[in-house]
Amino acid sequence: MKKYCAEFFGTFSLVFAGTGAIIINDVGGGMVTHVGVALTFGLIVLAMIYAVGDVSGAHLNPAVTLGFLAARRMHARESVPYIISQCAGALAASGVLRALFPQHATLGVTEPAGSNLQSFVLEAILTCLLMFVILSVSTGAKEKGITAGIAVGAVIALEALFAGPICGASMNPARSLAPALVSAHSHSLWIYLVAPPLGALAAVPVCRCIKDADCCG
């Protein structure tokens, strides 16, 4: 149960800090800035990898869990409780943010700024890059250690910096699901539920082609 509690709390922290930064940026008239929001997402993931990486691996993301499963680094029986814990943590964070900022309409929901296809492709590629980095720096199904924290946190911040204004740079179904459900803004949700898992799965053969066989089991 400690692993599932770690995933719940880690994903809660990610959604609370990341979407909270978006909300506070809106409420505060842009004081946080886009750069600040991107760094918040990267830094909270970095912190959670150090905090709970040795317990659960700090997936914090259903797409990452599916990527580890496809790479044969974790058992299928563990993946479902992981994903449930992540989604529950994300929903709890959005619920708290709704209570704190009842006037905010969207709670940091991810929505395309351009076409749906544009955001779908971006989300798939961004998640593929993220999962490739995770597979390259993690041990088994665990993101832990100085290398993993810095590398994964940095790539999340980087991708949010350049792609966030177009697609939201979610790369995480739980992060997008929670504010969409709590705020009832779910018309583009399918993009962020489908594209990131596809991108994470695509990273597995990419890793196999570039690195040794240990990358995939």
Q: What is the mean pLDDT of residues 166-176?
A: 97
pLDDT recorded at residue 212: 67
pLDDT at residue 143, as a whole number: 79
Say if CB 149 and CB 50 are below 8 A apart.
yes
> Per residue in 3-38, pLDDT tens?
999 999 999 999 999 999 999 999 999 999 999 999
The domain in which residue 89 lies consists of 2-216
DSSP, collapsed to helix, strand or coil, labels residue 142 as strand
Give the number of other Cβ atoms within 10 Å of residue 8's Cβ.
23
Q: What CATH number does the domain containing 28 carry? A: 1.20.1080.10
Counted domains in the chain: 1
- Per-residue pLDDT tens over the stretch 61-75: 999 999 999 999 999
Give the pLDDT band (50/70/90) at residue 155.
very high
Mean pLDDT of 124-148: 89
pLDDT over 70, % of the chain: 97
CA distances (Å), origin 56, targets 75, 82, 114, 165, 181: 13, 9, 36, 31, 26
* pLDDT confidence of residue 217: 54
User: Tell me: the pLDDT tens digits for 75-131?
Assistant: 999 999 999 999 999 999 999 999 999 999 999 999 999 999 999 999 999 999 999
Specify whether the CB–CB gap between 173 and 127 falls below 8 A.
no
Does pLDDT of 140 surpass 80? no
pLDDT band at 208 (very low <50, low <70, confident <90, very high): confident
Residue 213's pLDDT is 60
C-beta separation of 111 from 188 below 8 A: yes
